[in-house]
Amino acid sequence: MEEKKLILPGNFGDDEHHVDADSRRCEFDIKNEQIVFGKIKADIVFAGDSIIHFMEENRFYNKYGFVVNRGIGGDMSKYMRMRFSADVTQLEPKLCIMLIGCNNLWPLEDEIDGNTGDYTESAKAKYENELLDDLRAMLDEAKENGYPMWLGSILPQGAGIPNAEHRNKVIIRINERICALAKEYGTEYINYHDALTLDDGLTMREGISREGIHPNHAGYELMNEVLTPLLDKFFDK
């Protein structure tokens, strides 16, 4: 039998172009190697950006088995897509939970309509389409390899974040498309967003984040309340 080969995506940046996704590449390659050649199969792989990276997954989810965290602070969907085979598929998970897209928004700050203060429609469409294309590619890979990938909503942002009102409106719009994509693929849409917003349905609630982006203890508690019933059903707990 041919020995299984480790998938190593390499770095995506260079000396002139920093890519946040590279910051944990060495760590993940070594951890992936131990899982692959140790013939351990993951029960859940959480993948995405800093919302996943900063989550203490064993606080809530170790009852479901071997849980792997492959979040990277600052990551964007296009790099998540490029590392997906290495950091998710080759770990042979029973389930992948994906939460990515917040950092795709930052380039929109350079695409503001001077008359309205909102992002230009062309920039919003470009952002949305790129994110959806990346999610679709990862959903296709998961399906081809026989495991489900659930899609988490992008979280709301706090009032103190620059251009928060316009950013949160974009988040609402893209979450609607993520939800529709989940339905198209017959997979779960994890609606963290509604559990974390004020009555306006847009802005992150006070007291659940350190700075209006990353959940704190209370924020992750709310996220857990959304996810746990879905996991209990999936694992028949």
pLDDT band at 192 (very low <50, low <70, confident <90, very high): very high
The pLDDT value recorded for residue 112 is: 77
Write out pLDDT tens, residues 25-36: 999 999 999 999
Token pair 């999610």 in the structure block, residue: 135
Q: Residue 81 above 80 pLDDT?
A: yes
In the chain the domains, ranked by start, together with CATH numbers, are 20-234 (3.40.50.1110)
pLDDT at 2: 59
The mean predicted confidence, pLDDT, of the chain is 94
User: Cα separation of 196 and 208, whole Å?
Assistant: 8
Alpha helices in the chain (DSSP H): 25-37, 50-53, 77-87, 121-144, 164-185, 192-196, 217-234
**Residue 116 pLDDT:** 67
* Closest listed residue to residue 128, CA positions, set 185, 170, 180: 170
- Give the CA distances from residue 20 to residues 17, 79, 128, 212, in Å, rounded to whole numbers and listed in that order: 10, 9, 20, 20
Nearest by Cα to 213 from 172, 159, 150: 159
In contact, 4 and 36? CB cutoff 8 Å: yes
pLDDT at 159: 84
Query: For residue 87, what pLDDT is reported?
Result: 98
CA pair distance 202, 210, nearest whole angstrom: 18
State CA 105 to chain mean position distance: 13
User: What pLDDT does 110 receive?
Assistant: 76
The 10s digit of each residue's pLDDT in 50-69 is 999 999 999 999 999 999 99
Distances (CA, A) of 142 to 39, 65, 175: 19, 20, 20
91-135: per-residue pLDDT in tens? Answer: 999 999 999 999 998 888 777 776 666 788 888 888 899 999 999
Residue 1's contacts (CB-CB under 8 Å, 6 or more residues apart) are none
Residue 237 has what pLDDT?
Answer: 65
Quick one: average pLDDT of 195-208? 95
